[in-house]
Structure 1
Amino acid sequence: MNIAQLLAAAATTFPNRPAVSVGRHTLHSYSELQARVARLSAGLLGLAGTPRGSRVVLFMGNCPEYVEVLFALWHAGLCAVPINAKLHAREAAFILQNCDAALCLSTHETARHAATALDYCGHHLTHITVGSAAYEQLLDSAGAAQHSAHRDDLAWVFYTSGTTGRPKGAMLSHGNLHAMAQAYLCDVDALDETDALLHIGPQSHAAGLFCLAHIAKGGNQVLPASRGFDVAEMVGLINHYPKVTIFLAPTLLRRVLASPELAHLNVSHLRTVLCGAAPVYAEDVRAALAAFGLRLWNGYGQGESPCTITAMPKHLYRDDGSAGHAERLVSVGVARTGVEVRVADGAGNPLSPGEVGEILVRGDVVMSGYLNDPSATAAALQDGWLHTGDLGTFDERGFLFLKDRSKDLIISGGSNIYPREVEEVLLRCPAVEEAAVVGAPDPDWGESVVAFISVRAGMQVTSDELDELCVAHMARYKRPRRYTFIDALPKNHYGKVLKTELRALTRRNP
C-alpha cells in the first residue's frame, strides 16, 4: 500500500513519457524520475537520524524536485511535512518543533528563511537545500528498494492554516492518499498519459496532492519556468500542452478572469479548472463558465480530509432547466467517492434538507487525528465522524451548500446571519473586487454586520450605493450597518481571508 507504488507502476507502464517538465522542456521521463527517487530514498535513509518513520519537513517553494522529494520520502518509508514557503520563520519553527522533525529540506530561495526557523527551534537539525552539492550527493547512492508500507503508516502531515490559532498537524496515511487519488479518478477525470497538470498554486498545499492521480496514470507534471503566477505564462503553457488541468484558488481564479491575457487562451487545450480552498462566489462561477465552458470543478475539503469531501462536477453546471439550477451554481456539490457526508445538529443527529447544521464527514480519506494533540483530535473526531466546524445544508436533491464557518456566524437581534449570503450580494456590484463580512459587538443587537470592501482599480462605489444593493436583494436586518473600505483583505498564506483580523479591526475602530 505504499503510495510510492503509483510512480513505480507508471514508470513500468510509461517509461519514456514525460513525468516532470519545466515550461515547455521535459526534465525527466518516468523511468528517469523513478531511478532518481530510488537513489534519493537510499541517500535519505543513509543520513544520521532519519530512520524509517521519521518526519521530514519540506520548507520548499514550487520546484521541479518537489515530486521526486515527495516520492523518495514515501519510497523510503519516511513522512513528508510540507510547510508553505511564505510562512514567517517563527511560524515554521513551531511546526518543526511540533512534528519532531528529523530533517529539513529547502529550496535556494527558502534556504535562509529555513535556517532562521531552525535557529528559533534551538536544537540542531540536518538542513539540506535541494540542488546543492549535499543534495546531489544523496542522489549518488545506489537505489533502495521500496519500503513495504502498511496502509495506516503515516505519509503526510498537513498543518492547518491556523486562521484561529496555532496550526494543527493533520495526519494522513498511505491509505488516505490512495483513497484521495482513487476519488479523483472516479469524480474528476479519467486521466491518461497525455494529460498534464500545471502547478500554479503552492505544491505544499493539499491541492498539490492532485499530482497523485495524474502520476498514477502517467500524466506530466508541468511547472512554469517562473515558478510563480503569471497569466500570460499560464496561457502560453495551456496553449502548448494539449490536455491541461490547473488548480486555481478563488483569488487566483478572479485574477485570471480579469486578465486581458485570457483572450489568447486556446480553451480546447484546457481539460479542467480545479477550484477550492475558499468559497467560490456565484459571480465567479458565472464568469468562469463563460470563459472556460463546462470545465470548472469546484471541490470542498479540508486539510483533515484533503480536497475530498464534496464536489460540483463539471457536467452539473450545465443548465438543464431544472428548478433551482441557478441557486446550485454556488453549491459545493455532492459527496465524493468513498466519502459519507452528513449535516447534523449539536448532538450529531442528521438534519432534514433545508436545515442548517454542522457538516460531518467520514471515509477512507479522513485523517487519523492531529499530531501530538489528543484533545484537538478528540474534539474533531467523534464516533467515527470528522466534525468540520463548517455550517451547511442539503437541498432536496442532495446538493450541499456551505453557509459559513460556525465561528463566523453572526447573531443579531436573535436572528442568524450567514456572512457568505451578504458577501454574495455585495459581489454583484461591478466595482467590488472583494468583500468580507464579520460581526461586531453591538449593545442593542448583540452583534451588527460590518462589511470590508476592496474596490477594483479605477472604479468607485459608496456605502449608500452598496446599501441600496443590499436592500434590493436581501432582508433589511442582514444588511451591513457599516462599510469599511480597505486596499486588500488580509489573507493567510493559502489565500484564505483572515476574519479574525477583520474582527479585531472592528473592535479597535468601533
Structure 2
Amino acid sequence: MIRPWEYALTMGEVFNAHLTQRPDKTALTTTDGHSVTFAQLEERTNCLFNALSAQGIQPADRVAILSYNRPEYMEVFGLSKTGVIVVPLNWRLAAPELLRLLQHSGSRALIVEENFVPIVESLRNQLDKIDTYIVIGKARNGWIAYEDLVTKADRKTPEAQAKPDDVLCLVYTSGTTGAPKGVKITHRGALENCRSEAQEMLSLTEDDYALAVLPLFHVGGMWYHLFPSFATGCTSLLMPQFDPEKLLQAMQDWKITNVHLVPTMVGALLNHPRVDQFDLTHLRIILYAASSMPAEVLRRAMRTFHKCSFAQAYGSTEAGTVTGLYPEDHILAQSPDYEHILSSCGKPFKNRQIRILNANDQEVATGEIGELTVRSPGIMTGYWNDDAATRTTFQNGWVYTGDLARRDEQGYYYIVDRKNDMIVTGGENVYPTEVEAYLYADSRILEAAVFGIADPKWVEKVVAAVVLKSGEAATENELIQQLRNHLAAYKCPKEIYFVSVLPKSGAGKVMRKSLRNQYSQ
C-alpha cells in the first residue's frame, strides 16, 4: 500500500507517493530550462545510490553536497530514503570552515558543483575519510562526473529503506553564536515540519508553483519551503542565488504562486525601483521567516504586495517549526486594536508544546521575558558527535532555543532577541531588535543592526551599524537624538557606524557576532 504523502513517515514514502500519483509532472525546474519529473527524480536517485554503493557507500554513511540550488540537490537528498545521511554544506564558508564540517561529519563522499572544485582541491590532502569525489560538471583528474554516475548506473530500486527515526540529514548551524554544530534531523522530524508548513500555514496543493531561492543547505530552504512544496507535489522553480531583479522577473514569468523569503530579501524587493511594474497577480502567498521582520518593513510589504497573503513561520534548526503568524492574523492586524501582533511570531503549530522559562527553569508569567523551550515531533534528536552541547540544548525532551520571548494574553508569542545577543549595559538589559525597530521606522535606512561591544564604564555599550538607502544622508547625532524621543537613554546607541553592507549568514541573517568582533577591535 502506498501512503499519500500526508501520512508519510520517511522521504522514501514521499517519493513512492509521487511515483504513483504524478510520475510525469515536473517536480523541479530552473530558469535555464533544466527540469526533472517526479519519475525521473526517483530513477536518478536510485541510480545515484547504486553508483555510490559500488563505491562502497552504505546506509548510515554521510554524503556531503556543496552546490547552489539545482535539481541535483534534491536527488542527493533523495539518497536519504536508503538510510544515507545527507550533509548539505554552506557554499559561503571559507576553506578552513568547510574542512571542519567535512571532518566532523565523517563524510565519505563529496558531491560538488564545479564552481567549488578549487576550494575542495585546496583541502583534499586533509580529507582522509572521503573516498569519492563527484563533480556536477565535466569529469577531471580525481573527480567523477555526476552525470556519468547517474546515466551509467543500475536503475534498480535499492533494497535499503530508511526508518522514520533514522537521521535524514545533518544540518550545520550558522555559527552566529559559536562554532557550527551538526543538527541531527530525522525523517519523522522533517516531515512533521513539512506538514505544518504545507497544510496549516501555506495551504499548498499540487497546483501551486513554488519558487525556492533560499539556499538548500539551510532549513529555511529545506523544510520551511522546498520540502513542503516537493512533498505536496508542487512544481518548484529553483534559483541559485538571490537577486531582486531576477527574482521579480522569475515570479512574473513563471506565474509563481508562493515564495519563501527572509526579511532582508523582502526589504531588497521593496527597494527595487521597478517593483510595482512586475505582474505578480498569480502570487498567492509570501512566507517570511529565518529572522524577525521590523513591523514597519512588514506594513510596507503588505501595501506593496497587497494582492497576496502573508504568513510568518518561527523556528530553528534544532526546534523545527514552532509558531506561525497566519494570513488571517495579518488581516486581523489591519485593525488598530490588533496592529501589535505584526511584531509577534504567532501561535504554536499543532503538536507543539512551548514553555518560557527563567534562569531557574521556572515558567514566567504572561508578559514576562524568558527563554523559549519547545517539545514536538519535529525537534532534533541531538548534535552529531557532541554530547556536551546536546545535554545543554536538549533536556528531558525539550529544546532550549536560546531565544528570549514573551507571550501576551491573547496567546501570541514575541521573540525579543537571541539570548546571546542581549546587551547588558550598566546593569540594564537591552534587546537589539527593539532598538532596530525604531531605526527601521526612519525611511532613509535600508538596513540596521544593533549590538554590544565591551566598554570600561558600562561593561557593554550599545552601538549600531546602519546602511542608508541610495541617495539618502543622515548623521550619527541626528539618529541618536531621534531614538531618544522613543527609547530610554541607556537603550540608545552610544555610537552609530555607517556601512555599505551588513555581514549576513547563508540564510540571510545579519551576523551580529561578526559586527561585534569587527568593532570591538
Same fold (TM over 0.5): yes
Aligned residue in 2 for 1:158: 171
The 1:115/1:46 distance shift into structure 2, 3 A limit, reads: same
- Pairwise CA distance, 1:18: 1.3
The 1:208/1:321 distance shift into structure 2, 3 A limit, reads: closer
1:345-360 to 2 correspondence within 5 Å?
345-360=358-373
Cα displacement string for residues 465-500 of structure 1 (whole angstroms, at most 9, x for unaligned residues): 212221222223311122222222222333222222
SS of residue matched to 1:106? strand
Cα displacement string for residues 362-393 of structure 1 (whole angstroms, at most 9, x for unaligned residues): 11110000000000000001121100111010
Distance 2:127 2:184 in 1: 22
Residue identity in the other structure for 1:397: Q
Aligned residue in 1 for 2:77: 70
Distance 1:200 1:124 in 2: 29
Aligned residue in 2 for 1:470: 483
CA contact (8 A) 1:342 1:360 kept: yes
Distance 2:455 2:76 in 1: 52
The 1:321/1:56 distance shift into structure 2, 3 A limit, reads: closer
CA contact (8 A) 2:43 2:155 kept: no
- Pairwise CA distance, 1:179: 0.7
CA contact (8 A) 1:90 1:120 kept: no
Q: Identify which range, 339-348 or 370-379, moves more after superposition.
A: 339-348
Say whether residues 1:81 and 2:87 are aligned partners. yes
SS of residue matched to 2:170? strand
Say whether residues 1:300 and 2:320 are aligned partners. no
The 1:431/1:218 distance shift into structure 2, 3 A limit, reads: same
Cα displacement string for residues 161-203 of structure 1 (whole angstroms, at most 9, x for unaligned residues): 1123321000011111121111112322222221122121212
Cα displacement string for residues 7-65 of structure 1 (whole angstroms, at most 9, x for unaligned residues): 221121112221121227472222222222222222222222x1111011111122221
Distance 2:255 2:316 in 1: 31
Unaligned runs of 5+ in 2: 1-8, 140-144
User: Runs of at least 4 residues of structure 1 off by over 4 A?
Assistant: 320-324
Say whether residues 1:231 and 2:237 are aligned partners. no
Say whether residues 1:9 and 2:17 are aligned partners. yes
Say whether residues 1:287 and 2:300 are aligned partners. yes
Aligned residue in 1 for 2:6: none
Residue identity in the other structure for 1:498: M
Say whether residues 1:125 and 2:140 are aligned partners. no
CA contact (8 A) 1:45 1:76 kept: no
Aligned residue in 1 for 2:272: 259
1:419-434 to 2 correspondence within 5 Å?
419-434=432-447
1:156-305 to 2 correspondence within 5 Å?
156-209=169-222, 210-224=225-239, 227-293=240-306, 294-305=308-319
Distance 1:264 1:338 in 2: 42
Cα displacement string for residues 432-477 of structure 1 (whole angstroms, at most 9, x for unaligned residues): 1211112233444333211222222211001222122212222233
Aligned residue in 2 for 1:316: 329
Cα displacement string for residues 381-439 of structure 1 (whole angstroms, at most 9, x for unaligned residues): 11211001110101111111111111221222322211111111111112212111122
Q: Identify which range, 488-497 or 343-352, moves more after superposition.
A: 488-497
Distance 2:470 2:256 in 1: 34
CA contact (8 A) 1:437 1:451 kept: yes
SS of residue matched to 1:184? helix
The 1:237/1:5 distance shift into structure 2, 3 A limit, reads: same
SS of residue matched to 2:123? helix
Distance 1:24 1:283 in 2: 36
Residue identity in the other structure for 2:104: N
Distance 1:476 1:127 in 2: 57
Distance 1:484 1:340 in 2: 41
SS of residue matched to 2:195? helix
SS of residue matched to 1:4? helix
Unaligned runs of 5+ in 1: none
Scaled by the length of structure 2, the TM-score of the pair is 0.92
Distance 2:312 2:120 in 1: 34
Aligned length: 503
Distance 2:294 2:334 in 1: 21
Q: Identify which range, 19-28 or 159-168, moves more after superposition.
A: 19-28
Q: Identify which range, 141-150 or 38-47, moves more after superposition.
A: 141-150
Aligned residue in 1 for 2:3: none
Aligned residue in 2 for 1:52: 59
The 1:193/1:24 distance shift into structure 2, 3 A limit, reads: farther
Say whether residues 1:137 and 2:148 are aligned partners. yes
The 1:284/1:320 distance shift into structure 2, 3 A limit, reads: closer
The 1:34/1:256 distance shift into structure 2, 3 A limit, reads: same
Aligned residue in 2 for 1:41: 49
Distance 1:199 1:385 in 2: 31
Q: What is the aligned counterpart of 1:61 among 43, 63, 68? A: 68
Cα displacement string for residues 345-365 of structure 1 (whole angstroms, at most 9, x for unaligned residues): 123222121100001011111
CA contact (8 A) 1:426 1:435 kept: yes
The 1:19/1:358 distance shift into structure 2, 3 A limit, reads: same
CA contact (8 A) 1:14 1:193 kept: no
Aligned residue in 2 for 1:439: 452
Aligned residue in 1 for 2:35: 27
Scaled by the length of structure 1, the TM-score of the pair is 0.93
Percent of matched pairs sharing the same residue: 30
CA contact (8 A) 2:105 2:384 kept: yes
Residue identity in the other structure for 1:297: A
Aligned residue in 2 for 1:374: 387
CA contact (8 A) 1:118 1:125 kept: no
Cα displacement string for residues 282-324 of structure 1 (whole angstroms, at most 9, x for unaligned residues): 1221121112235222221111134x01121122111467675
Distance 2:256 2:328 in 1: 18
Cα displacement string for residues 327-361 of structure 1 (whole angstroms, at most 9, x for unaligned residues): 21121111122221221112322212110000101
